[in-house]
A = this chain, B = another copy of it.
Amino acid sequence: MKQYLEKAHVLIEALPYIRKFSSKIILIKYGGSAMENEELKHCVMQDIALLKLVGLKPIIVHGGGKDISKLCEKLSLKSEFKNGLRVSDKATTEVAEMVLNRINKTLVQNLQSLGVKAIGICGKDGLLLKCSQRDANLGFVGKIEQVNVEILEELLEKDFLPIIAPIGMDESLNTYNINADDVACELAKALKTEKLVFLSDIEGLYEDYKDKNTLISKLSIKRAKMLLDNIEGGMLVKLKSCIDACEHGVKKVHILDGRVKHSLLLEFFTDEGIGTLITKEEYQ
């Protein structure tokens, strides 16, 4: 009986959060270990299914990471990176598109089998992501020129959970591989979502990125900007995205540790925040 009551209490504790986020759009950038480890992946799928079923409106943007490199290798295509972005000739972009769309439809399948009405699209569908070349040296790596969120609004209206592969197009029938963090950030801005969540292989932001004891749980844009000088690499890009999102209408940006099981659920339904929360103003 005591065990039952504890279960009831957990559910009751979720009550104010469910109410708070009801009907809110939540953009989740999904990548890293949480996508590659099958057990973690299953937890994320369950978490997102629950978010959807209790009334939130999640949208997933996923990456493709290691699978693209693996297939390139099998096909004897060289995987080269510049500033963390894959140099993409026609053949590599084709591989990226194949791999990303397969991952995309596998996520659809996972969510459908949990009873969620899911649909997998990329930036070509409904002309969601119109791109140009980001940098001639990178080949077909896309810079997002225009976001047409009409398709997302229509799919949400019909109660779908949209899952988005980071592929875009231009008007000359070129296909572009786009950084998934960029896609997540631009879509969150265009939809002015309640939350933008980066689920990745880091615990969060650190005051001193060499000292794992200096994890920051909450910070304002102002303080985030001061951190920019201290960090570098992929993290620098991600933090810039976070700041950009907060400055363009996204209410809260979270950096969550995808290596922790059910980190999404815990972030959404308990008082204890996990990872780092970035907001426009100082957050109480």
Interface of A with B (CB < 8 Å)? 1, 4-8, 10-16, 18-19, 22, 43, 46-47, 49-50, 53-55, 74-75, 94, 97-99, 101-102, 104-106, 108-110, 112-115, 117-122, 124-127, 151, 154, 157-158, 160, 167, 169, 171, 173, 175, 260-262, 265-266, 269-270, 272
- What are 17 A-B pairs at a CB distance below 8 A? A4-B270, A4-B272, A5-B262, A8-B47, A8-B265, A11-B11, A12-B262, A15-B46, A15-B49, A18-B50, A19-B49, A74-B75, A97-B102, A97-B105, A110-B173, A118-B126, A119-B151
Q: Is the CB of B262 within 8 A of A8?
A: yes
Q: Is the CB of A12 within 8 A of B105?
A: no
Bound CA–CA A262/B8 (angstroms): 6
Q: Is the CB of B105 within 8 A of A101?
A: yes
User: What distance in Å separates the Cβ of A232 from its nearest Cβ neighbour in chain B?
Assistant: 30
Minimum CB distance partner of A99 in chain B: B98
Residue among A53, A120, A265, A266 having the largest count of chain B Cβ atoms under 10 Å: A53
Within 8 Å CB of A121, what residues of B?
119-120
Within 8 Å CB of A4, what residues of B?
262, 266, 270, 272
Q: A11-B50, A75-B75 are in contact. Are A115 and B19 (CB under 8 A)?
A: yes
Q: A19-B53, A101-B102, A127-B112 are in contact. Are A261 and B8 (CB under 8 A)?
A: yes
Q: Is the CB of B99 within 8 A of A125?
A: no
Contact of A50 among B15, B106, B160 (CB under 8 A): B15
Within 8 Å CB of A157, what residues of B?
158
Within 8 Å CB of A74, what residues of B?
75
User: What distance in Å separates the Cβ of A211 from its nearest Cβ neighbour in chain B?
Assistant: 21
Q: Is the CB of A5 within 8 A of B261?
A: yes
Q: A14-B11, A75-B74, A151-B119 are in contact. Are A124 and B105 (CB under 8 A)?
A: yes
Residue among A97, A105, A171, A260 having the largest count of chain B Cβ atoms under 10 Å: A105
Q: Is the CB of A53 within 8 A of B53?
A: no
Within 8 Å CB of A110, what residues of B?
173
User: What distance in Å separates the Cβ of A46 from its nearest Cβ neighbour in chain B?
Assistant: 5
Q: A7-B266, A98-B101 are in contact. Are A108 and B124 (CB under 8 A)?
A: yes
Contact of A113 among B55, B154, B171 (CB under 8 A): B171
